[in-house]
């Protein structure tokens, strides 16, 4: 990939590496009018991730999860509980292997076929993460465990099977506020998958 010749990184500092890494980056940027401006920004590096929406055409249902998310709690979500599509960090896996592992850990479903639909930056103003988006069909015979996540990672995940109609209604009424989940539900709608 070709580097942007209008950007010159001057200094990178680590502000925190407690959970993931928060950098302060000072750089020069050549503006469109030719002037050079020095700027400083913070960027949070948590690695890249993958997300999947499981769907069942026969039942017209999707599998989602519900878990506590501290940032939503401190930003006004009174319970901190968030309904989401299954997701996780790559942890040195390729995106497809990661999402298969996360699906089994979080939902209890063992899937073998996944379809990658796109990649997206979710918060490019401050977070380096790119997310790999997948969908996959599921059936009851793929349910091999209860799911719920990994206890050693502090996960306490509730698995939800919802009608597609109810999931879309939950976007409209504000019960589903997670961007990656909304994007995948809308993808199923736009592509007439459900």
Q: Taking phi first (over 0 means left), then psi (-120 to 50 degrees means alpha), and beta for anything else, what does residue 25 get?
A: beta
Q: Residue 142's domain is classified under what CATH number?
A: 3.90.79.10
Binding residue numbers for Mg(2+) = 87, 102, 106, 155
Are 115 and 136 in contact, with CB atoms under 8 Å apart?
A: yes
From the list 106, 169, 173, 93, the residue with the least C-alpha distance to 143 is 106
Judge if 153 and 73 occupy the same domain: yes
Number of C-beta neighbours around residue 163 at 10 A: 13
Q: What is the pLDDT of residues 110-168, one digit of tens each?
A: 999 999 999 999 999 999 999 999 999 999 999 998 888 777 776 789 999 999 999 99
Domain boundaries, position 32: 7-45
Beta carbons of 149 and 106 less than 8 angstroms apart: yes
* Domain match, 33 and 57 both: no
pTM for this one?
0.91
In this structure, is residue 171 part of a structural domain? yes
Tokens at residue 162, please?
Answer: 């919802």
Looking at the fold, whether 76 and 101 belong to one and the same domain comes out as yes
Same domain, 141 and 125: yes
**pLDDT tens digits for range 77-112:** 889 999 999 999 998 889 999 999 999 999 999 999
Dump pLDDT digits (tens) for 35-44. Answer: 999 999 999 9
Distance CA 187, CA 83 (A): 17
Which residues carry a binding-site annotation?
87, 102, 106, 155
């Amino acid at each position: 990939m070709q580097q942007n010749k209008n950007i010159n990184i001057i200094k990178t500092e680590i502000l925190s590496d407690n959970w993931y890494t928060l950098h302060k980056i000072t750089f020069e940027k050549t503006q469109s009018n030719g002037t050079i401006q020095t700027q400083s920004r913070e960027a949070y590096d948590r690695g890249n991730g993958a997300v999947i929406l499981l769907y069942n055409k026969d039942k017209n249902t999707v599998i989602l999860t519900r878990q506590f998310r501290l940032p939503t709690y401190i930003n006004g979500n009174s319970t901190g509980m968030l309904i989401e599509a299954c997701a996780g960090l790559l942890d040195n896996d390729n995106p497809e292997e990661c999402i298969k592992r996360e699906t089994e850990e979080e939902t209890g479903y063992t899937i073998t076929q996944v379809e990658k639909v796109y990649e997206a930056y979710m918060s490019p103003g401050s977070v380096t993460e790119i997310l790999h988006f997948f969908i996959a069909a599921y059936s009851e015979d793929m349910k091999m465990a209860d799911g719920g996540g990994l206890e050693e990672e502090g996960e306490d995940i509730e698995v939800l099977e919802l009608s597609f109609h109810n999931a879309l209604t939950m976007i409209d009424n504000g019960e589903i506020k997670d961007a990656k989940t909304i994007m995948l539900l809308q993808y199923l709608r736009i592509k007439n998958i459900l």
